[in-house]
């Protein structure tokens, strides 16, 4: 091989297309620019952000300060004063003797204090409390919890576990064991327990032994 034998790879170099050299070439007359229009003229350069004269997006977008939290929680709120009024009117039922009035989201919905149960419930502190209440909700303000507890009641927060719970009948998962390992161990232990003989049943060796002790102690001379 010599220097003049070297050639570029096939398809790496293509011939330059010459436009405007007659209609026989395929790129003559309008030279691939079409007929008339801004882009067919010489010196036409339209920036990429140009939108044809309409108000550009940079001016249409509002530029107010601040932002909305992506993971915000929207609560269905109810004031503690309204809960106390409904409880005084017997809207939550009559409690037992010396027992507080139980209030939960289902009772709040039945009493008309909530529109639906699609959102978590938060109790606000507006109003007064003059009776014992046992309120169960997803969240409480400090003033609401203080007023409920000052009247001798309880503000119970519904807690959602942050970790998955073990199924019934399965021990708590260890940090170094996967669920498949725990299931396999449980299956093997169950199989071992089923194969083990019962405590009252005789073993094979005991069943083969003669039942009469006299027969077992017979000497070979007697034969």
Asked, for residue 111, whether it belongs to a domain, the answer is yes
Torsion of CA 19, 23, 25, 28, to 10 degrees: 10
**Residue 119 resides in a domain:** yes
Phi, psi of 194 (to 5 degrees): -70, -30
Residue 153: its pLDDT value, please? 93
Average confidence (pLDDT) per 10 residues, the chain, 223 residues: 92 91 90 91 90 94 86 94 93 86 93 93 95 94 95 89 70 58 73 66 52 50 47
Residue 135 domain flag: yes
| pTM of the full structure | 0.49
User: Rounded CA gap, 182 and 134, in Å?
Assistant: 40
Decide if 137 is inside a domain.
Answer: yes
The pLDDT value recorded for residue 223 is 42
Give all strands of the β-sheet with 139-140 in edge-to-edge order.
76-79, 121-124, 139-140
Distance CA 148, CA 137 (A): 13
CATH number at residue 123: 3.100.10.10
Cα 125 from chain centroid (whole Å): 31
Residue 17 lies in a domain: no
Q: Say how far apart CA 173 and CA 149 lie, in whole Å.
A: 38
Residue 36 belongs to a domain: no
* Letter string b/e over residues 88-101, b meaning 16 or more CB atoms within 10 A of that residue's CB: eeebbeebeeeebb
| 197 domain residue, yes or no | no
- According to the model, what pLDDT value does residue 144 have? 95
3-class DSSP assignment, residue 170? coil
pLDDT at res. 75: 95
Check residue 172 and give its pLDDT: 56
Length of the chain: 223
CA gyration radius, the chain: 43
pLDDT at 5: 92
- 143: CB partners within 8 A, 6+ apart: 124, 125
> What does the pLDDT look like over 135-183, one tens digit per residue?
999 999 999 999 999 999 999 998 877 777 777 666 655 556 666 676 7
Split into its structural domains, the chain has a count of 1
Q: Which domain holds residue 85?
A: 80-157
Helix ranges, the chain (H):
57-60, 80-88, 105-110, 142-150, 179-195, 204-208, 213-216
Tell whether 1 is covered by a domain: no
């Amino acid at each position: 091989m010599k220097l003049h034998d070297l050639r570029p790879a096939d398809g790496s170099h293509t011939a330059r297309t010459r436009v405007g050299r007659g209609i026989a070439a395929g790129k003559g007359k309008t030279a691939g620019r079409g007929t008339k229009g801004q882009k067919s003229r010489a010196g036409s350069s339209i920036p990429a952000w140009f939108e044809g004269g309409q108000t550009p997006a940079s001016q249409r977008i509002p530029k107010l300060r601040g932002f909305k939290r992506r993971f915000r929680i929207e609560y269905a709120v109810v004031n503690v004063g309204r809960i106390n009024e409904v409880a005084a009117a017997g809207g939550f039922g009559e409690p037992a003797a010396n027992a507080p009035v139980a209030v939960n989201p289902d009772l709040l919905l039945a009493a008309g204090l909530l529109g639906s149960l699609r959102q978590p419930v938060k109790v606000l502190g507006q109003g007064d409390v003059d009776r014992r209440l046992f309120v169960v909700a997803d969240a409480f303000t400090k003033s609401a919890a203080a007023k409920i507890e000052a009247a001798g009641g309880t503000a119970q927060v519904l807690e959602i576990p942050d970790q998955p719970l073990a199924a019934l009948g399965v021990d708590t998962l260890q940090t170094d064991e996967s669920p498949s390992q725990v299931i396999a161990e449980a299956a093997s232990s169950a199989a071992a327990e089923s194969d083990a003989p019962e405590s009252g049943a005789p073993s094979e060796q005991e069943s083969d032994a003669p039942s009469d002790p006299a027969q077992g102690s017979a000497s070979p001379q007697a034969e």
